[in-house]
Amino acid sequence: MTESGKPILYSYFRSSCSWRVRIALALKSIDFETVPINLIKDGGQQFSEEFQALNPMKQVPALKIDGITIAQSLAIIEYLEETRPTPRLLPQDPKKRAQVRMISDIITSGIQPLQNLSVLKQVGQENQLTWAQKAIRPGFNALEQVLWSTAGKYCVGDEVSMADLCLVPQVANAERFKVDLTPYPTISRINKTLMALEAFQVSHPCRQPDTPPELRA
Amino acid sequence: MTESGKPILYSYFRSSCSWRVRIALALKSIDFETVPINLIKDGGQQFSEEFQALNPMKQVPALKIDGITIAQSLAIIEYLEETRPTPRLLPQDPKKRAQVRMISDIITSGIQPLQNLSVLKQVGQENQLTWAQKAIRPGFNALEQVLWSTAGKYCVGDEVSMADLCLVPQVANAERFKVDLTPYPTISRINKTLMALEAFQVSHPCRQPDTPPELRA
């Protein structure tokens, strides 16, 4: 935390995992400071000794809060939920909570890791787009089918939940990697509805302290 | 659930994600039936129409319980924890819960997805071992460092937690992919301590209904 007691979010404007946490902070009206960690510049600032001491995984996001540092976006969001429960990001009913966590995990374990920066580096520049599309499409096929039975206005019923915090940044990644979203009308509809909410807008990659001028909107 | 009301676990003996859930079921003394889904045979039984209807991600594990089907191992374990809280797999203190979830997510999002069957198929047989090692080593480097500050007898303090349910199957994967574990004394020590517990033994890949005779122990 800063001297003023604000939590510090180590974040990269374009990181979809960082965006998930920024949405949670915005929804819960938690005032925080951003420390940008540029994943590209200087060979990747996440590899600095200083940052490695904070998060040995050398990834963003990490959140300094209440005297501890938490890495991994869902662990951060679950902690915020337990310590700052309003508005809630997990439904009250355990079965609906299971649906929220299942959808979140499909994205955070089943899709995003396969198209993240370190994997794309390994497959080589000329193969990156195809690889990322191959990672996202099967996941979106599954997600679309899951949402048929869980979705209302949002991913699970009519309340914004942790699942929605995972969905929107993953759709942005899909667009970045030129995945055709036509086969995913439910995903697209929910994404559009969520993007009308302020918390999803202020946390958007195009509006961060470290967003390069040419990408600002 | 079966007619007798038992939960049904769709599982593959060798799947590390299935093993996580089998440990949770064993620790919580939840009686269940296994329906084996062979990920190799018949081109992969997870691709059958019947199984896809249960889990559109076409992955194990999936658990039918209380009238619903949950996929994704951590979502299943969190549901079991909320509905069958004894013995607990998440500590009471929110900060320690955050540590447990962070370690679990490091493994389930940061390591396992990069070395799972579908990715290894994509990289081609001759590259599989190197790819898997490259996926596991950086994750274990991070994990070893995280455990220095969180571990007691187990991953977080002296109580078995969800993090331990993720650790043991991931260590087994590391051994399968011939990762040298010498640089990871903390991981190795905790793994050994956990493997002395009955719940980790009965759930082991070598003792499942679908374990091939030549791999039984």
The pLDDT score that the predictor gives to residue B118 is: 86
Q: What is the pLDDT of residues B44-102, one digit of tens each?
A: 999 999 999 999 999 999 999 999 999 999 999 999 999 999 999 999 999 999 999 99
- Does B112 lie in the same domain as B75? no
**Last residue in a domain, options B62, B87, B112:** B87
The pLDDT score that the predictor gives to residue B125 is: 87
- Does B188 lie in the same domain as B108? yes
- Does B104 lie in the same domain as B57? no
pLDDT band at A2 (very low <50, low <70, confident <90, very high): low
- Does B45 lie in the same domain as B105? no
Q: Give me the CATH number covering residue B122.
A: 1.20.1050.10
The pLDDT score that the predictor gives to residue A3 is: 66
- Triad B77, B10, B166: Cα angle to 5°: 35
The half-sphere exposure of A133 on its side-chain side, counting CA atoms within 13 A, is: 10
A113 chain-B contacts, CB cut-off 8 A:
109-110, 113-114
Q: Which two tokens stand for residue B182?
A: 């010498």
- Distance CA(A153)–CA(A112), nearest Å, equals 24
Evaluate if residue A1 carries a pLDDT over 80: no
The pLDDT score that the predictor gives to residue B124 is: 86
The pLDDT score that the predictor gives to residue A5 is: 86
Residue found by looking up tokens 């180590």 in the block: A10
- Triad A131, B133, A15: Cα angle to 5°: 45
Q: Is B215 a domain residue?
A: no
- Does A78 lie in the same domain as A147? no
Q: Which of B168, B211, B136 is nearest to B19 (CA)?
A: B168
Contact of B105 with A108, CB cutoff 8 Å = yes
**Last residue in a domain, options A29, A63, A87:** A87
Task: Name the residue of chain A whose CA is nearest to B62's CA.
Answer: A102
Quick check: B82 and A66 CB within 8 A?
A: no
State the sign of the Cα–Cα–Cα–Cα dihedral A140, A146, A150, A156: negative
Chain B interface test: which of A54, A57, A76 (most B C-beta within 10 Å): A57
The pLDDT score that the predictor gives to residue A101 is: 98
- Distance CA(B153)–CA(B85), nearest Å, equals 21
- Does B71 lie in the same domain as B102? no
Q: The domain containing residue A63 runs over which residues?
A: 8-87
Instruction: Determine the longest span between alpha carbons in chain B, in angstroms.
Output: 49
Q: How far off is chain B from A52, nearest CA to CA, in Å?
A: 9
The pLDDT score that the predictor gives to residue B185 is: 98
Q: Is A209 a domain residue?
A: no
- Distance of CA B114 to CAs A46, A135, A173, B168, Å? 20, 11, 18, 17
Q: Give me the CATH number covering residue A18.
A: 3.40.30.10
Q: How far off is chain A from B142, nearest CA to CA, in Å?
A: 5
- Triad A23, B111, A119: Cα angle to 5°: 75
A97 chain-B contacts, CB cut-off 8 A:
78-79, 82
Contact of B119 with B155, CB cutoff 8 Å = no
**How many residue contacts between A and B have a Cβ separation below 8 Å?**
121
pLDDT band at A118 (very low <50, low <70, confident <90, very high): confident
- Does B60 lie in the same domain as B40? yes
- Across the range A161-184, mean pLDDT stands at 98
Q: Is B190 a domain residue?
A: yes
A95 chain-B contacts, CB cut-off 8 A:
66, 68, 79
The pLDDT score that the predictor gives to residue B1 is: 56
The pLDDT score that the predictor gives to residue A117 is: 87
Contact of A175 with A181, CB cutoff 8 Å = yes
Q: Which residues of chain B have pLDDT under 70?
A: 1-4
The pLDDT score that the predictor gives to residue A114 is: 93
Q: Is A121 a domain residue?
A: yes
A78 chain-B contacts, CB cut-off 8 A:
97-98, 101
Strand, helix or coil for residue A10: strand
In this structure, are strands A33-36 and A8-11 parallel, antiparallel, or unpaired? Answer: parallel
- Does A71 lie in the same domain as A20? yes
- Does A159 lie in the same domain as A128? yes
Task: Name the residue of chain A whose CA is nearest to B53's CA.
Answer: A145
Q: What is the pLDDT of residues A24-56, one digit of tens each?
A: 999 999 999 999 999 999 899 999 999 999 999
- Give the total number of structural domains in chain B: 2
pLDDT band at A122 (very low <50, low <70, confident <90, very high): confident
Quick check: B101 and A79 CB within 8 A?
A: yes
- Distance CA(A91)–CA(A200), nearest Å, equals 19
Q: Is B178 a domain residue?
A: yes
Q: Which of B97, B36, B89, B13 is nearest to A81 (CA)?
A: B97
Task: Name the residue of chain A whose CA is nearest to B147's CA.
Answer: A56
- Does B135 lie in the same domain as B116? yes
The pLDDT score that the predictor gives to residue A138 is: 96
